[in-house]
């Protein structure tokens, strides 16, 4: 069976909407706790003062 683009898009959006989850109530907290753990890990990691960030800026 071949689907038109319109049918495909509609099917995708319908499927997607049907699958939308109800977020567990503490999900924002879970994410922020994870971010805090990352922050603590990075804070504890000691590096020499001369180390520059891995950016490249070309003038």
Partner 1 sequence: MTDDIFFASISDLNARLLKKEFSTVELVKAFSERLETIGPRYNALALPLPKIALKRAKAVDDELKRERLRGPLQGIPFGAKDLLSVAGQVTSWGAKPFAAQVLDRTATVLTKLDKTDAVLIGKLAMVELAGGPSYRMANASLFGPGLNPWDRTRWSGGSSSGSGSAVAAGLVTFALGSETSGSILTPSAFCNVTGLRPTYGLVSRYGAMALAWTMDKIGPMCRGAEDCGLVLQAIAGSDAEDPGSAGKSFYYTPQYARKMSDLKVGFASVDLDWAEPEMRPALDAAMQTIRAIGVQMAEAKLPEFPYGALAGTVVSADGSSVFESLIASGRVNELVDARQIEGLKAGLEIPAKDYLKAMRIRSLVKQKFHELFADIDVIVAPCRYGIAPKISDPLDGGGGRGGQTQRPSSPGMTGLIAAGNLAGLPALSLPCGFAQNMPIALQLVGPAFSENTLLAIGREFQSRTDWHKRRPPAAN
- Please give the residue ranges that form the binding site for partner 1 (CB under 8 A): 1-3, 5, 8-9, 11-13, 15-16, 19-24, 27-28, 30-32, 34-35, 37-39, 41-43, 45, 47, 51-56, 58
Smallest distance from partner 1 to CB 8, Å: 7
Residue whose entry in the numeric block shows the structure tokens 């804070």? 43
- C-alpha–C-alpha distance, residues 42 and 36, integer Å: 10
Task: Please say whether the beta carbons of 34 and 27 come within 8 A.
Answer: no
CB of 25 to partner 1, least distance (A): 10
Nearest CA to 18 out of 10, 26, 27 is that of 10
**Least distance CB 10 / partner 1 (angstroms):** 11
């Amino acid at each position: 069976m071949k689907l038109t683009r319109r049918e495909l898009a509609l099917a995708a959006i319908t499927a997607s909407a049907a699958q939308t989850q109800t977020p567990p109530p503490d999900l924002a907290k879970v994410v922020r706790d994870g971010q805090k753990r990352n922050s603590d890990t990075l804070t504890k990691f000691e590096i020499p003062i001369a180390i520059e960030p891995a950016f490249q800026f070309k003038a």
